[in-house]
Structure 1
Amino acid sequence: MPLLMSFRRWWAVIFFAILTLPTIGLVAPDAPAPLRTVLEPEAHWWEEAAKRLDPFINNAFGFRGAVLAAHRSYMRFMGDTQGDLALKGENGSLFLKDEHALEQSLGQLVRPEAVSGFVAFAERMNAYMKARGGRFVVLIPPNGHTTNFENLPAYARRLKTSPTEYDLVAQQMKAAGLTFVDMRPILAEAKKVGPVHWRYDTHWNQRGMLLGFNAAMAAAGRPDLAVKAEDALGPAEPRLTGDLLRATGARVPNPPDVQFPPKGPMVPPKEQTLIPGLFKPVAPHDPFVPYAVDTGHPGPRIMVIGDSFSQGSWRGLGISAASAYSWQHHRYCRFDMESVERFKPDILIYAPTERAMPCKGEPENWPKAAADAGKAG
C-alpha cells in the first residue's frame, strides 16, 4: 500500500502549509499591532532561554497583529476587554500591566542593584559631559501608576509602600551630586488645575510633556528656554483614543480623555534640515528612529536620550530652543554613544520613563565613552 494514499496527500499538503504559516507571517503583510517592547533577544539568551528569549519571541512571532486582534475579539466575546495588557482602575482608568510597572510604582518591586547601577551609569555620563564643558541632566517621567495613583484599584492603593525605586534614585542622585529632575512633585502640583497624564494611555498628556521639557531646561541652567503653556497648548478638548484602549479593544469610556492640542513652538516646523551621518542605521520596522536637526538659529546644542515620552512631543520644543536638536532611544543605557560624540551636545538629557529606568546588561556593555569617562573621573 502506498505510504500516502491519494486522499491523504491533500491532508499532508494542508498540514505542511499550517506549519509554515508562522514563518510566512514574519515577512507577509500584517494587521496593525501595539509597538513591540522587545526588539532583540538579550545577550547569551541560550543560557536562560525561558527568561531571556521568550520576551523577544512574544514580540516577534508571525502575524502578530492578526493574532492579537483575534485575541482581543475573543476576550470581548467573553466579556473581558482587559486580557493581560491593562489593569482597570477607578472611573474606567486603564493602567499598563507589562514591565512590572504597577509593582514598581507601588514599591512592591525594588531592585537596589539596578538602582545603584543606573546611578553609576549617570555618574559616568555626567563625568563625560563635565569634561567637555557641557551639562548632563537626568529626568524620569513617572509611570501612569505613579502620576494617577488615585485612579488605581483600591486593593492596589492599599499595597503602596516605600521606598520605591524612584525614591531610591532620587536619593542616590542627590547624594552623588548629579542634576536630577524628580517629576513627581512637579506633576502633582500641576494636577491641581488639570490633568497631566492620560487615563487610557501609558503616556503623559501635552501638559505633562511641556512641564517635563521646561523642567529639563531649568535643570540644565537655561530656564530662559522654557515655553509658556499659553504659547504651546490649546484649550482642553476630548480625546477619543489611547494606546491602552487600542491594545485592549475597549470602547471609548464616558467621559473620554482630555488633551491640549499643541500649537506654536510645540509643533515641529514642516521644513527641517536633518543632520546626516550622525546615527547608525536602525531596523526598518524600529519604532524609535533617531533624528538630529540643524535649526539655523542661535542656541545650545541639545540632545535627548529618551523614549516615547519625549520622542515626538519634545521635537518642536527642542527645535525652537536649540541651534541643533537631536533625539535617540536610550536602549536601556545601551544607546549609540558614538553619535553623542559626533553631535557634541552642550546639554545632554537622559530621560527614560520610570518603568524603563534600569539599565540592561553588564556595565561593560554600556557606551564605551561613558565607561572611559567614569575611569577618568
Structure 2
Amino acid sequence: MAALANVLQLLVVIFFLAAPCGLSLLGVPGGRLAVENRPLAPVPPLAEAVLAPTRFGPDMAAHFRDAAPFRDHLIRANNRLRLALFGESPVPGVIVGRDGWLYYNLEHALDDYLNVMPLSEGDMAEMVRVQAARRDWLAARGIAYLIVFAPNKERVYPEHLPPGLRPLRPESRLSQIVPRLRAAGIDVLDLREAVIAGKAAGRAYMLTDTHWNGYGGLLGASALVAALARRFPAMEPLDPATYDLVVTDRPGGDLAEMLLLPDRWREPDVSARPRGASLTRPAAPGDYADPADHPERERVAYETDRKDWPRAVFFHDSFARAMQAHAAQRFSRSVFLWTHAFSPEIIEKERPDVVVLEVVERYLFALLVGNRAAPAAP
C-alpha cells in the first residue's frame, strides 16, 4: 500500500509538471500575459556547469520557473482568487485600498505615511551640507537652485487606504527636512499643499499606479512656475483653469502590473490638455552623455520662442514625467535628466539660469547623492 501511494504521488507530480508543456505542444497558448518589471532568468551557459557547478543548478531552476508555460496564467488565477475571496493583495508590494485604489508598499512608501522612520540628526545635517554646497557652487555662477518635493500617493489620498492605517507620529520625514533646508537658505518647494488643494477639481493620482497623473503633474508644474516667477518675473503663470481634464480608459498602471492584472484592473487615466496651442517644441539634447543610461529614461529637451524666460536643467525621478511637458511651457529651454546625481559638466554645457532637483517623498535620501564629477572652483 505504501509503495502504491508513493507511485501515485510521483504520477501526480509528473502530471503537474508535464501538463503545461503538453498543453503548449497541443497549441494551447500559454505565453506571457504581462511584462514584469525585472528581466527574466536566462538559460545559463553549459560552461557554467563545469566552471561554477554550485551556481548552475539554481540558475537553471530560476530559468525554468520563469519560462514555464502558463506561469503567468496560474499567477493571475491565484491573484484573482485571493482578491475575490479575501480582498487582500497577493503581492507584498501592493496594498489593496478602498474604492478601487491600489497603493505602493515598497521603498518604505507606507512607512513614510505611518511616520515610523524619522530622519536622524546626522542624516539631516549631511543632507543640508550636500545641498548647501551645490547651491553655493551654482550661485557662484549666477544660477538659481530649487529643490521640489513631490508627495507620495498616500499623503494626498489617505482616505482610500484600508481602514486602520493612520500615521503613528505627527511629523513625517518630509516635514522634518523641509524647515532644515530652508533655515540653511536653500529654496524648497513642498508640493503637498498645492496638490492636496488641487484635488478638489479633479483626481490627481492614478488609481492603479504609484504616480500622479497628468493633472497632478500640471498642479506640480503650476506651483513650480509660481515659485520661480518670484525670481524670474517675466515668467507667466501656468493656470490649471486653462486646461481641460480628459479621462481615458487604459490598461492599469504599475501596481496593476505587479498583480499581473493590468487588463482586468484598468485605469481611468486623467490627463490635462491646454485649450490653446502648445508653446514648446522638441529640442536637441546637449553634447554630453545621458546620465540615466537607460532606454526608458532618456533625457528630454524642449524649447520655446520666449527668450526672456529662463533656461532650466531638471534632475529628477519618475514623478517628473507627468510634469515636464507642462513645466516646459514656461522656459526658453528646459532639459530633463532622469537622475538625482548632480553633474557640473552638464551644467557648464547647458548654462541654465536655474537648476531644479525634483525628489518624490519616498526618495528623500536622494538629497545625499553627490556629484558625478567634483565641482571646479568658480
Q: Give the TM-score normalised by the residue count of structure 2.
A: 0.71
Gaps of 5+ in 2: 1-31, 40-61, 84-88
Match of 2:258 among 247, 262, 270: 247
Q: Per the alignment, do residues 322 and 155 of structure 1 end up closer, same or farther by CA in structure 2, a change over 3 Å counting?
A: same
Match of 1:359 among 360, 363, 366: 366
Letter in 1 for 2:335: S
The aligned counterpart of 1:348 is 355
Q: Per the alignment, do residues 103 and 344 of structure 1 end up closer, same or farther by CA in structure 2, a change over 3 Å counting?
A: same
Q: Per the alignment, do residues 85 and 175 of structure 1 end up closer, same or farther by CA in structure 2, a change over 3 Å counting?
A: same
Does residue 1:227 correspond to 2:238, yes or no?
Answer: yes
Q: Per the alignment, do residues 144 and 276 of structure 1 end up closer, same or farther by CA in structure 2, a change over 3 Å counting?
A: same
The aligned counterpart of 1:198 is 206
Provide the C-alpha distance between the structure 2 equivalents of 1:121 and 1:282, rounded to a whole number of angstroms: 21
Q: Secondary structure at the match of 1:338?
A: helix
Provide the C-alpha distance between the structure 2 equivalents of 1:303 and 1:215, rounded to a whole number of angstroms: 17
Deviation at 1:35, TM superposition (A): 4.4
The aligned counterpart of 2:35 is 33
Does residue 1:110 correspond to 2:118, yes or no?
Answer: yes
Letter in 2 for 1:207: Y
Deviation at 1:234, TM superposition (A): 3.3
Provide the C-alpha distance between the structure 2 equivalents of 1:64 and 1:129, rounded to a whole number of angstroms: 51
Letter in 2 for 1:350: L
Letter in 1 for 2:337: Q
Letter in 2 for 1:185: E
Q: Per the alignment, do residues 218 and 268 of structure 1 end up closer, same or farther by CA in structure 2, a change over 3 Å counting?
A: closer
Letter in 1 for 2:153: G
Provide the C-alpha distance between the structure 2 equivalents of 1:137 and 1:125, rounded to a whole number of angstroms: 11
Q: Per the alignment, do residues 254 and 140 of structure 1 end up closer, same or farther by CA in structure 2, a change over 3 Å counting?
A: same
Provide the C-alpha distance between the structure 2 equivalents of 1:104 and 1:295, rounded to a whole number of angstroms: 38
Q: Per the alignment, do residues 255 and 102 of structure 1 end up closer, same or farther by CA in structure 2, a change over 3 Å counting?
A: same
Provide the C-alpha distance between the structure 2 equivalents of 1:65 and 1:327, rounded to a whole number of angstroms: 35
The number of residues matched between the two structures is 314
CA RMSD of aligned residues (A): 3.5
Provide the C-alpha distance between the structure 2 equivalents of 1:277 and 1:149, rounded to a whole number of angstroms: 44
Q: Secondary structure at the match of 2:355?
A: strand
The aligned counterpart of 2:161 is 152
Deviation at 1:241, TM superposition (A): 2.6
Deviation at 1:360, TM superposition (A): 8.0
Q: Per the alignment, do residues 260 and 293 of structure 1 end up closer, same or farther by CA in structure 2, a change over 3 Å counting?
A: closer
Provide the C-alpha distance between the structure 2 equivalents of 1:64 and 1:346, rounded to a whole number of angstroms: 52
Deviation at 1:138, TM superposition (A): 0.8
Q: Secondary structure at the match of 2:178?
A: helix
- The within-5 A match list for 1:25-64 is 33-35=35-37
The aligned counterpart of 1:302 is 312
Contact 2:33–2:260 under 8 Å retained in 1: no
Q: Per the alignment, do residues 141 and 69 of structure 1 end up closer, same or farther by CA in structure 2, a change over 3 Å counting?
A: farther
Provide the C-alpha distance between the structure 2 equivalents of 1:64 and 1:137, rounded to a whole number of angstroms: 47
Provide the C-alpha distance between the structure 2 equivalents of 1:180 and 1:356, rounded to a whole number of angstroms: 15
The aligned counterpart of 2:25 is none
Q: Give the TM-score normalised by the residue count of structure 1.
A: 0.71
Provide the C-alpha distance between the structure 2 equivalents of 1:344 and 1:64, rounded to a whole number of angstroms: 51
Deviation at 1:264, TM superposition (A): 5.5
- The within-5 A match list for 1:185-334 is 185-220=193-228, 221=230, 222=232, 224-236=235-247, 241-250=252-261, 257-263=268-274, 272-280=282-290, 283=293, 285-298=294-307, 299-311=309-321, 313-331=322-340, 334=341
Letter in 1 for 2:79: R
Mean Cα deviation higher: 243-252 or 341-350:
243-252
The aligned counterpart of 1:138 is 147
Deviation at 1:97, TM superposition (A): 1.0
Contact 1:214–1:225 under 8 Å retained in 2: no
